[in-house]
């Protein structure tokens, strides 16, 4: 917070408040990455990763994208609330981490693992959905028409993506599920993030639908490979962010935000290719630097827990936090809670 004071940073927004808002973006990004390497990364290694990632990946990208002297800013790349800075960078770092740490020992065979707790998934999705309004609408930096537009496009994209994921599963012979809706909704939230304050409400519907279908296909592909991305961070955040960046290049319009640009749909193909070039730069930079960080950490200390620690579970082996073992009464029968 050196040099941060109560003076205005943007309109009536104090610089100190803006700094706190940006800190939220900075800490959530490595928080997404850990979802790809859960159940096998050593806690101390992850803490070191947070520090190095923040310095060598997140901070450069934030400067490139949102500072007037940044490379992407000067190129004309638009990212309203972190499609590149947060989601693409997290998705590519997640891919790098999953490749370095390899598969969990309990997932060496290709098999579908059922979700552990659907009610918790629903609660988590609701919290994310609600919090995303602050993420996207808050990036307007004011209580104004632009913030309202970003709020609505965020909600519409999430809902349309959730329904699209569920119906696309059904069209492919799978069962429509609450889990599918929740995953799709998160993908929609990711995809609308770069364009929330630049695209119209009807456009947000298409962004949600298209992002859900593309990410769904990437998840299906991933399940056929040896890539063990525990929470599908790369397909949902990485790919979702890429789709969002490209579709911002298609659907952006100055009628929504005069400070933005007109996209491909409005007769400006140059802006679409600007978004494409910016996206490729972020993808390559995030993956390469994150991969190097993971490899470097592994030289300093073992990045992966031992086989015994992994089998015991990281809550117990890394933090000595064990859950009580007891019995549950299900349909009149006692079931061991092991």
Q: What is the pLDDT tens value at each position of the chain, 338 positions in all?
A: 555 555 566 677 888 888 899 999 999 999 999 999 999 999 999 999 999 999 999 999 999 999 999 999 999 999 999 999 999 999 999 999 999 999 998 877 656 666 668 999 999 999 999 999 999 999 999 999 999 999 999 999 999 999 999 999 999 999 999 999 999 999 999 999 999 999 999 999 999 999 999 999 999 999 999 999 999 999 999 999 999 999 999 999 999 999 999 999 999 999 999 999 999 999 999 999 999 999 999 999 999 999 999 888 888 889 988 766 554 444 445 555 55
Domain boundaries, the chain: 8-106+117-304
Buried b (16+ CB within 10 A) or exposed e, 290-306: bbebbeebeeeeebbbe
Query: Distances from the Cα of 94 to the Cαs of 31, 101, 181, 203, in angstroms?
Result: 10, 10, 22, 29
Residue 191 in tokens = 């995809």
Q: Is the distance from CB of 140 to CB of 150 less than 8 angstroms?
A: yes
Class of domain 8-106+117-304: mainly alpha
Query: Distances from the Cα of 53 to the Cαs of 1, 32, 45, 70, 89, in angstroms?
Result: 19, 12, 12, 19, 10
User: Could you give the CA distance from residue 321 to residue 29 in angstroms, rounded to a whole number?
Assistant: 25
Q: What sign for the dihedral angle of Cα 305, 309, 312, 314?
A: negative
Report the run of H or E that residue 8 belongs to, with start and end: strand 8-10
Which of 93, 142, 141 is CA-nearest to residue 241? Answer: 93
Residue 263 in tokens = 């996209």
């Amino acid at each position: 917070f050196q040099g941060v004071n109560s003076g205005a940073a943007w309109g009536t927004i104090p610089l100190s408040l803006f700094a706190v808002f940006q800190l939220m973006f900075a800490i959530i990004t490595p928080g997404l990455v850990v979802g790809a390497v859960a159940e096998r990364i050593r806690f101390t290694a992850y803490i070191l990763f947070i520090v190095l990632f923040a310095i060598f990946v997140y901070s450069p990208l934030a400067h490139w994208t949102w500072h007037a002297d940044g490379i992407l800013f000067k190129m004309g790349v638009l990212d309203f609330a972190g499609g590149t800075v947060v989601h693409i960078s997290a998705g590519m770092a997640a891919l790098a981490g999953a490749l370095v740490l390899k598969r969990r020992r309990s997932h060496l065979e290709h098999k579908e693992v059922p979700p552990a707790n659907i009610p918790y998934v629903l609660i988590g999705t609701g919290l994310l959905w609600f919090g995303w309004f602050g993420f996207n609408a808050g990036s307007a930096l004011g209580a104004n028409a632009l913030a309202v537009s970003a709020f609505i496009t965020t909600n519409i994209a999430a809902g349309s993506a959730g329904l699209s994921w569920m119906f696309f599963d059904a069209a492919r012979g799978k069962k429509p599920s609450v889990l599918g809706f929740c995953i799709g909704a998160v993908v929609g939230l990711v995809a609308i993030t770069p364009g929330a304050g630049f695209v119209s409400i009807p456009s947000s519907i298409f962004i949600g639908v298209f992002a859900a279908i593309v990410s769904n296909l990437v998840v299906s592909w991933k399940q056929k490979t040896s890539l063990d991305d525990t929470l599908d961070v790369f397909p949902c955040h990485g790919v979702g962010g890429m789709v969002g960046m490209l579709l911002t290049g298609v659907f952006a319009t100055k009628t929504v935000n005069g400070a933005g640009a007109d996209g491909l749909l409005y007769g400006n193909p140059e802006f679409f290719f600007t978004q494409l070039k910016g996206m490729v730069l972020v993808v390559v930079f995030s993956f390469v630097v994150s991969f190097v960080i993971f490899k470097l950490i592994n030289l300093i200390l073992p990045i992966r827990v031992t086989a015994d620690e992994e089998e015991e579970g990281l809550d117990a082996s890394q933090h000595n936090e064990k859950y009580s073992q007891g019995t549950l009464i299900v349909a009149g029968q006692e079931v061991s809670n092991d």
